[in-house]
Chain A
Amino acid sequence: MNPKKPLTAETINLNLKGDTKEAILAEMVDLLTASGHIRDRDAVLRAVSEREKRMSTGMQNGIAIPHGKTDSVDCLIAALGIKRSGVDFGALDGQPSSIFVMTVSPDSRTGPHIQFLAEISRPLNDPAVRAKILAAASREEVLHLLIG
């Protein structure tokens, strides 16, 4: 699949303001809402929050991959946010999370939704890529680091 389609420069935020998990989730849903792909902002926030309640998507090394399924979107959409100081996201390694990749996909349609999440997260396994993303000066630079 082509990871360029769901993630664009306009759905990247280099400086998230929130200091809590809830605030980060809301801020990223707002980022997606601003891109114009969401019909019901609250339904999307509810979908990703409920998924978080079942198990945190905070992984290791400061990466979190919040995601959810709702028919308030017509296709897979994605956003990336950075909070350099980190936020407690209930991560597996107990460390604060600083890079957030959010995906929202339609509930009633099949598609490579988890595949996108896996592909976009793959470069983040590399500590050098993570460091460059945290130090990036522009959204285009982040996009380039992730999808070339």
Chain B
Amino acid sequence: MPGGADIDPVVRFILQLGLLIVFTRMGGIWLRRWFRLPGVLGELISGMIIGPYALGRFNWPLVGPIFRLTAAGAVPPELHAIAIFASVILLFLCGLETDLSTFLRYSIAGTFVGIGGVLLSFYLGAGCAVWFGLADSWVSPTALFLGAIATATSVGISARILSERRKMDAPEGVIILAAAVFDDVLGIIVLAIVMGMARAAAAGQGIAWNSVAAIAIKAFGLWIAATATGLLLARRLARLLKWFQSPGAIAAVALGCALLVAGLFEMAGLAMIIGAYVLGLALSRTDIVQLVQAEIQGLHNILVPVFFGTMGMMVNLAVIPSVLKIGLIYAVLAILSKTAGCALPALLCGFNRRGALRIGIGMLPRGEVALIIAGIGLSSGAIGENVFGVAILMTLITTLLGPLLLARSFDHPGSGLRRPADAARTQGKDIVLFFASPDMADFMRARIIRAFRNEEFYVYRLSPDASTYHIRKDDMFFTLDHEENSVTLRVPAKDETLARLVIAEEMLTLRSMLHMARENGQLDNMEHELVAGLFGGPNEDDPT
């Protein structure tokens, strides 16, 4: 089979997908384990290495050039469709993970921080295109896309650092998470506006500032109407989904709905990811959110690296040297704009310079949404390969620097608030239980989880390697942590009575069980019966 020219197209696609899954996962794990860097960087770089601009174009034994440049571009159409599907899953999950209640609680500071970051990033991002000759006006698609790409914070990367440092509930952590919600929403609206303007430009219509306003109003109106409808109907939709009973079926139908909404949004002139995000956001307030998240996680784990890989494949490595300088300038502007844009409002909202800087740095990483916007720009022809390369460089640099700087910003243990006493008010209440041994703590963790499930709460472990659980029902949300011989339940003040009563009942059960075990000689009998005769075979020298 010389050069692999006669490979069936379907088989070729399967081979491509397989290669991409294997190499992006390897790249991601390699960077995460050995360099403690975000896995997304490894996935992106893996795509660059095996793509048609690097190793993919060489004539490999059996398969020939596995990835080659075609008229359709650097990514084969089938893989491109898989990448879009992955981006819909990603944004659907992003919406599901949105903590609307935290955002609403800290909405004032979060809104100011989010708006500050988005406005300054858009201004400097678009300005970079205009000032350095990539675009001839502020309303050219290139300027608009570079502005939009610079706005979208990827808070997942910061959230992991906050979680590792146990700062998720610190005032800075809460504001970063709240601002990220606003950032997502604003970023999505900016994308809708930018796409509308880019479409108008592509159709040869001149863009006047009054038409910008009309597009903005239409995009914002559509988004707000869809979001409000989604939130209003969310509980009803959740009830309908529960009719399917099995978690797998509920999640599958929910994802199907996300794809339908995504398609309808695209047909209405908004991006597919906006539709997926809106449905995720609506379901984030229901009690099936953890179930859907857990069931879709497997699909996410397989497909999302494929998305980052295909984004990497689209980077024409030949243009990188020529855009390196402008890419670095864009990255520096993206870093400065987000840090300053978020830190300045934080200073006005009760944070000191340390706290404001932590918030600014926490909002720094750009990731999936920036890449999706860049990908949309490239595939729609609104931006060229050189601008796409600039965007990728910025994403790589901010994703690399963000977590490193955020971790360092917490090295100093000082409070980030001007009045540290305020911190007490922003934190949830911890119910901490200490047990005589880790085994007993683990037993009680299991009992408490079972008790909440009996109360018809949804309980999910955050990840297989973490002993943190989310316990959720309607608008109630608890976090349970198990560490060595302690179990900690973090509860909002309004639901503290319920949490205490549930735990107290389980403690009583434990006490009764211990009492019964002590009183009941049956246990001794059972133990004896279990081990009796284990080594009771006849000896070799037994005369009988």
Binding site for B on A (CB under 8 A): 51, 54-55, 110-115, 117-119, 121-122, 125
The verdict on A121 contacting B497 (CB below 8 Å), with A54-B512, A114-B502 known, is: yes
Evaluate contact between B508 and A115: CB separation under 8 angstroms: no
- Is B160 in the interface zone, CB < 8 Å from A? no
Could you tell me the distance between the alpha carbons of A119 and B476 in the complex, rounded to whole angstroms?
Answer: 12
Chain A: which residue is nearest B454 at the CB level?
A: A110
Which of A51, A54, A110 meets B455, CB within 8 Å?
Answer: A110
Which of A55, A113, A125 meets B508, CB within 8 Å?
Answer: A55
The verdict on A112 contacting B456 (CB below 8 Å), with A117-B501, A118-B498, A121-B497 known, is: yes
Could you tell me the distance between the alpha carbons of A121 and B505 in the complex, rounded to whole angstroms?
Answer: 16
Could you tell me the distance between the alpha carbons of A117 and B495 in the complex, rounded to whole angstroms?
Answer: 12
Chain B: which residue is nearest A117 at the CB level?
A: B501
Q: Would you give the shortest CB distance from B494 to chain A, in whole angstroms?
A: 8
B512 neighbours in A (Cβ, 8 Å):
54
Which of A51, A111, A118 meets B497, CB within 8 Å?
Answer: A118
Q: Can you list 30 pairs linking A and B with CB atoms under 8 Å apart?
A: A54-B508, A54-B511, A54-B512, A55-B504, A55-B508, A110-B454, A110-B455, A110-B456, A111-B454, A111-B455, A111-B456, A112-B455, A112-B473, A113-B454, A113-B455, A114-B451, A114-B455, A114-B501, A114-B502, A114-B505, A115-B455, A115-B498, A117-B501, A118-B495, A118-B497, A118-B498, A118-B501, A119-B498, A122-B497, A125-B497
Could you tell me the distance between the alpha carbons of A117 and B455 in the complex, rounded to whole angstroms?
Answer: 11
Could you tell me the distance between the alpha carbons of A72 and B63 in the complex, rounded to whole angstroms?
Answer: 70
Beyond contacts A55-B504, A110-B456: 20 other A-B pairs, Cβ-Cβ < 8 A, are A51-B508, A54-B511, A110-B453, A110-B454, A111-B454, A111-B455, A112-B455, A112-B456, A112-B473, A113-B455, A114-B455, A114-B498, A115-B455, A117-B501, A118-B495, A118-B497, A118-B501, A119-B498, A122-B497, A125-B497
Could you tell me the distance between the alpha carbons of A122 and B500 in the complex, rounded to whole angstroms?
Answer: 13
Q: Would you give the shortest CB distance from A70 to chain B, in whole angstroms?
A: 15
Q: Would you give the shortest CB distance from A42 to chain B, in whole angstroms?
A: 21
Chain A: which residue is nearest B497 at the CB level?
A: A118
Chain B: which residue is nearest A118 at the CB level?
A: B498
Could you tell me the distance between the alpha carbons of A43 and B453 in the complex, rounded to whole angstroms?
Answer: 26
Output the residue of A112, A119, A125 with the most chain B CB within 10 A: A112
A125 neighbours in B (Cβ, 8 Å):
497
B453 neighbours in A (Cβ, 8 Å):
110
B505 neighbours in A (Cβ, 8 Å):
114
A115 neighbours in B (Cβ, 8 Å):
455, 473, 498
Q: Mark B113-133, 1 if CB is under 8 A from A, else 0.
A: 000000000000000000000
Chain B: which residue is nearest A122 at the CB level?
A: B497
Could you tell me the distance between the alpha carbons of A119 and B508 in the complex, rounded to whole angstroms?
Answer: 21
Could you tell me the distance between the alpha carbons of A113 and B473 in the complex, rounded to whole angstroms?
Answer: 14
CB-CB nearest 9 A-B residue pairs: A118-B498, A118-B497, A110-B454, A114-B501, A54-B508, A114-B502, A112-B455, A115-B455, A118-B501
Could you tell me the distance between the alpha carbons of A125 and B498 in the complex, rounded to whole angstroms?
Answer: 13
Could you tell me the distance between the alpha carbons of A65 and B512 in the complex, rounded to whole angstroms?
Answer: 20
B504 neighbours in A (Cβ, 8 Å):
55
Using a CB-CB cutoff of 8 Å, which residues 456-476 of chain B contact chain A? 456, 473
Could you tell me the distance between the alpha carbons of A115 and B501 in the complex, rounded to whole angstroms?
Answer: 9
B497 neighbours in A (Cβ, 8 Å):
118, 121-122, 125
B456 neighbours in A (Cβ, 8 Å):
110-112
Using a CB-CB cutoff of 8 Å, which residues 474-506 of chain B contact chain A? 495, 497-498, 501-502, 504-505
Could you tell me the distance between the alpha carbons of A135 and B504 in the complex, rounded to whole angstroms?
Answer: 31
Could you tell me the distance between the alpha carbons of A14 and B473 in the complex, rounded to whole angstroms?
Answer: 34
Could you tell me the distance between the alpha carbons of A117 and B508 in the complex, rounded to whole angstroms?
Answer: 17
Q: Would you give the shortest CB distance from B521 to chain A, in whole angstroms?
A: 22
Q: Would you give the shortest CB distance from A6 to chain B, in whole angstroms?
A: 14
Q: Mark B510-531, 1 if CB is under 8 A from A, else 0.
A: 0110000000000000000000
A111 neighbours in B (Cβ, 8 Å):
454-456
Q: Would you give the shortest CB distance from B513 to chain A, in whole angstroms?
A: 11
B495 neighbours in A (Cβ, 8 Å):
118
Could you tell me the distance between the alpha carbons of A7 and B265 in the complex, rounded to whole angstroms?
Answer: 47
Chain A: which residue is nearest B512 at the CB level?
A: A54
A119 neighbours in B (Cβ, 8 Å):
498
Could you tell me the distance between the alpha carbons of A50 and B259 in the complex, rounded to whole angstroms?
Answer: 54
Output the residue of A110, A115, A125 with the most chain B CB within 10 A: A115
Using a CB-CB cutoff of 8 Å, which residues 43-102 of chain B contact chain A? none
A118 neighbours in B (Cβ, 8 Å):
495, 497-498, 501
Q: Would you give the shortest CB distance from B478 to chain A, in whole angstroms?
A: 12
A117 neighbours in B (Cβ, 8 Å):
501
Could you tell me the distance between the alpha carbons of A111 and B501 in the complex, rounded to whole angstroms?
Answer: 15
Could you tell me the distance between the alpha carbons of A110 and B457 in the complex, rounded to whole angstroms?
Answer: 10
Q: Would you give the shortest CB distance from A144 to chain B, in whole angstroms?
A: 21
Chain B: which residue is nearest A50 at the CB level?
A: B512
Could you tell me the distance between the alpha carbons of A27 and B505 in the complex, rounded to whole angstroms?
Answer: 24
Could you tell me the distance between the alpha carbons of A54 and B515 in the complex, rounded to whole angstroms?
Answer: 11
Chain A: which residue is nearest B476 at the CB level?
A: A115
Output the residue of B451, B454, B512 with the most chain A CB within 10 A: B454
Could you tell me the distance between the alpha carbons of A87 and B206 in the complex, rounded to whole angstroms?
Answer: 83
Could you tell me the distance between the alpha carbons of A119 and B473 in the complex, rounded to whole angstroms?
Answer: 14
B473 neighbours in A (Cβ, 8 Å):
112, 115
Q: Would you give the shortest CB distance from B474 to chain A, in whole angstroms?
A: 9
Could you tell me the distance between the alpha carbons of A114 and B504 in the complex, rounded to whole angstroms?
Answer: 11
A114 neighbours in B (Cβ, 8 Å):
451, 455, 498, 501-502, 505
Could you tell me the distance between the alpha carbons of A135 and B456 in the complex, rounded to whole angstroms?
Answer: 36
Output the residue of B455, B473, B504 with the most chain A CB within 10 A: B455
Could you tell me the distance between the alpha carbons of A56 and B473 in the complex, rounded to whole angstroms?
Answer: 29
Could you tell me the distance between the alpha carbons of A11 and B495 in the complex, rounded to whole angstroms?
Answer: 26
A112 neighbours in B (Cβ, 8 Å):
455-456, 473
Could you tell me the distance between the alpha carbons of A122 and B505 in the complex, rounded to whole angstroms?
Answer: 18
B451 neighbours in A (Cβ, 8 Å):
114
A55 neighbours in B (Cβ, 8 Å):
504, 508
A110 neighbours in B (Cβ, 8 Å):
453-456
Chain B: which residue is nearest A51 at the CB level?
A: B508
Could you tell me the distance between the alpha carbons of A112 and B512 in the complex, rounded to whole angstroms?
Answer: 23
B501 neighbours in A (Cβ, 8 Å):
114, 117-118
